[in-house]
Structure 1
Amino acid sequence: MKKRIILFFVFLGVFSAAFSLGAEMQVPEEEAKIFLEEFNKLLESLKGENFGFEIFLHNTEIALAMFIPGFGIGWGIFSAVSTGFAFAALATTTPLLGNIPPLALIFATPFGLMELAAYSLAMSRSFILIMALFKKSPLKEQWKPLVIEIGIVIGLLLLGGIIEAYMIENFEGEDLIPKIEDLKN
């Protein structure tokens, strides 16, 4: 159990570092506007009666791939860098965000912490599974913890999606979340 907890925190650090790397990228303003238009279109496509559930489904698709032995680690790092890039693009078009440390958005929001925990859990299980394969350990020993962790990830992402939808719906149009029409000007 001690090794499991250590691995969780190792991958929490890996995800955070990859996110920070993406957030430090310099995004030209024109490219940032294009990226954010696409991002806002994605948000609009998810919005509806079940906005929180749609966010949950989107994040779950990302997280479940992180459980794949070996591949999940790379996918998690890619997802973290991409999310950091999204922050960098937002910071380019929203000067107020330039004053906020990127990791603060993850560690200071309830849904950010839930997503970080879910992704770190999935990536660390990917590592455990790949190590079990290399050691030729019987994989049936891995099923129970795998199913439990998938359940935990789903629970975290469901609650996180509901909270994230609530925050987006209540803060959209504020200085932190520009609307599509604001980006065109």
Structure 2
Amino acid sequence: MQEEGKIRHIAFSYHDDAEHLDQILAEHPEVEAVQIVVNYYDWDEPFIQAKKCCEVIAKHGAKVIAMEPVKGGMLAEVPESVREKMKQMDENASAASYAIRFAASLDEVFVVLSGIIRAYNSLMLQPNPYFGAELNYYKSFRSAYDRAFETADYTEQTKKIGNAFDVNEAMKETIDFETKNSFQGYME
């Protein structure tokens, strides 16, 4: 299809380990880019394997499309001790900008997708959340990190967006929806 001009570039989004990615890219050398999670928090995380996946993609001569550079907004708010170190390096830079710059600084990275448009996106709502309930992993694989969304105070984020909407209310609505429409009740 590429030869026919119907497809200009071949790329895909990937959410698994580096070993399987290596196998896929070995079998499909026509792939030009792979979209993966890339942020400094998940860089060496054993489940996400961002660093290893970047290395595999580079090994096969493809480029990385970095998604989640700010980890759904989590890296936009860092502990005060971290914020102080960041301010020492550049007093005008935000924590989110450091996260985006980390991803953008990697040689393998072709483009960095910013991620969040609205708070709902940080919880990975599907366009039609009733579709494929078996794919709704929010409740089935929730960790302590995910549960932190339930108790966090997003008042500052609401102010930062000029009170366009109440982020606390949006997060509560999203969590309630995900809880109601996933299998967590069976897991706990």
TM normalised by structure 1 equals 0.23
Larger RCO: 1 or 2 (CA < 8 Å, sep 6+): 1
Structure with bigger gyration radius? 2
TM normalised by structure 2 equals 0.22
Question: By percentage of residues, which structure has more strand?
Answer: 2
Question: By percentage of residues, which structure has more helix?
Answer: 1
